[in-house]
Amino acid sequence: MPDSELHRSAKPILAIKGVGKRFSMGDQIVEALRDISLTIRKGEFVCLIGASGCGKSTLLRIIAGFETVTSGTVEMYGTPITGPGPERGMVFQDYALFPWLTVRQNIGFGPRQHGLPKEKLDQIAARYMDMVGLTKFSDYYPSQLSGGMKQRVAIARVLANDCEVLLMDEPFGALDALTREKLQQELLEIWERTKVTVIFVTHSVEEAVVLSDRVVVMTAGPGRIEHDGRIPLARPREVSAIDFNQVRRDITQRLTSHLTNSVTAVV
Amino acid sequence: MTRTTSRLVDVAKTLVVPIVFVLAWHAAVKLTGTRLIPAPREVAVMLWDFTFGGVYDDAFSKTIAVHFWASVKRVYAGFFLAAAVGVPLGLMIGRVKLIRELVDPTLQLLRPVPVTAWLPLSMIFFGLGPNAAIFLVFLGAFYPIVLNTTFGVRSVDGKLFEAATMLGCSGSSLFRQVVLPASLPSIFNGLRLGHGFSWILIVVGEMTGVPEGLGAVIMDGRMLSRADLVISGMIIIGLAGFLSDRVIVAINNRLLAWSPQHRA
């Protein structure tokens, strides 16, 4: 059974139905999202892609429970999301690690909230430090780590807290190209090993095509879904392959078609 | 260069300016022939007599410990009181909107009043005695502590709160596990500033007619026209302030090892 078939048959983990979001900025009201509907299945790797201002990060923050919706519903396993929770782990672009805690303590932060004994905490931390290859750095503080290492800690921190959905907000955006590629591969390995569901926000088409099962293209003003499609490529994917380029071109077109249309309309 | 020699060079560098200063002081006194300012050697003799006695054998001989201890007690009574009130108050002003709205405007109005201007009132409140001095030290240390603590709490990165709540930390443990450590660098800045002010204000506070204390020694020296005594008092206060600041810096560096930009 091909990969995509497997995912299609998996049960839905997140159901987003008719979600709208309006912010008030000063005395202006900005419509960030309009009528977003999306079902995400367990174990899926979904990329949200779009130009800045299309509401992709807002949508992610709504799923995380950091923002409320103005209309519509967001449910996980049929239960409405009312706030942040350990089952949905956010990985921020600027890491948001606790600078006063070591790598080990940062990773153990979530489990520690459940009052686990110290040996158990160390055991969990050790397991996830090993998963992201930071065992040697267990007693380092975040300020002593490179950007790529910090983001590995951030990923391990939410996985160690048994998150089922990994929410990633342009997580590799601040990294150099080489580190970025390396982390993409590591993330895929972790995803395959843990079967975690990933929702990944990016504005890089290549990143989306390398990583995801499914790409959701969003457009701005107000933010809505322009296109939602599977990536018909087998893994591991090769960025220089002909079919990879085809998919990339197709998605780039969908991203920009909306822009060119509106430009023509204005002209 | 080995580590020891490079360290010796560092020490030598810090001594250049003080040595030049003392030489210039000596030369100036000798050249002008003034009798109002003693030469460095006379101050050194005074310091010796103040510490060990045996030179002048007057009311000040061998009394350094009494005066020093009296001042230290007042400085730390005032400072710890200021920390005990200032840190919790600053945390609450930073964290609780209602308290901020209630307390902050008054604090901002009172703050520009120089602490020394409180001296007459503090003598009315606490009478002639050590309590008036402790009150002044308290006030002087209080403002920097409370303001820096508030600033520290207010400037905690909002993402850290999101990260913590997402990981299952909330309520009072959010306060203990996120707010407190995140604002620790600012709290320490406030403590260090407040501690510096404490040593400044003790002199003013002890001019209120207390018999013992380094500030009292300086006042006595002024009234007896004994500049050697005044300068000795100044040197001891300077050293005491410097050494206790180093203690705070050492604690700071230990607690804030995670934050290289806050290492002093």
Whether residue A181 is found in the same domain as residue A56: yes
Of B167, B173, B259, Cβ closest to residue A99: B259
Q: List alpha helices for A93-176, DSSP H.
A: 103-113, 118-131, 147-159
Q: How confident is the model at residue B226 (pLDDT cuts 50, 70, 90)?
A: very high
A229 lies within 8 A of chain B by CB: no
- Chain B neighbors of A109, CB-CB under 8 A: 164, 167, 169, 177
| pLDDT value at residue A10 | 73
- Structural domain includes residue A175: yes
Whether residue A112 is found in the same domain as residue A229: no
Residues B106-120 have pLDDT tens digits of 999 999 999 989 988
Q: Kindly list the averaged pLDDT for each block of 10 residues, start to end, along chain A of length 267.
A: 53 94 89 94 95 90 96 95 94 95 96 92 95 95 95 96 95 93 95 95 94 94 90 91 94 79 45
Nearest-CA distance B181 → chain A (Å): 7
The full length of chain B comes to 264
Domain that holds residue A115: 88-163
- Structural domain includes residue B46: no
A258 lies within 8 A of chain B by CB: no
Do A100 and B157 lie within an 8 Å CB cutoff?
no
Q: How confident is the model at residue B1 (pLDDT cuts 50, 70, 90)?
A: low
What's B221's domain CATH number?
Answer: 1.10.3720.10
Nearest-CA distance B68 → chain A (Å): 38
pTM: 0.85
| pLDDT value at residue A8 | 54
Nearest-CA distance B129 → chain A (Å): 44
| pLDDT value at residue B2 | 79
Q: How far apart are CA A74 and CA A150, in angstroms?
A: 30
Per the structure, the count of domains in chain B is: 1
What's A35's domain CATH number?
Answer: 3.40.50.300
In percent, the amount of chain B with pLDDT more than 90 equals 79
Please say whether the beta carbons of B154 and B93 come within 8 A: no
- Structural domain includes residue B35: no
- Chain B neighbors of A86, CB-CB under 8 A: 166-168
Q: Smallest Cα–Cα separation from A95: which of B163, B195, B226?
A: B163
- Structural domain includes residue A22: yes
Q: How many CB pairs under 8 A join A and B?
A: 71
Q: How far apart are CA B234 and CA B218, in angstroms?
A: 7
Domain that holds residue B89: 64-262
- Structural domain includes residue A220: yes
A85 lies within 8 A of chain B by CB: yes
Buried b (16+ CB within 10 A) or exposed e, A80-111: ebeebbbbbbbbbbbbbbbbbbbbbbbbbbbb
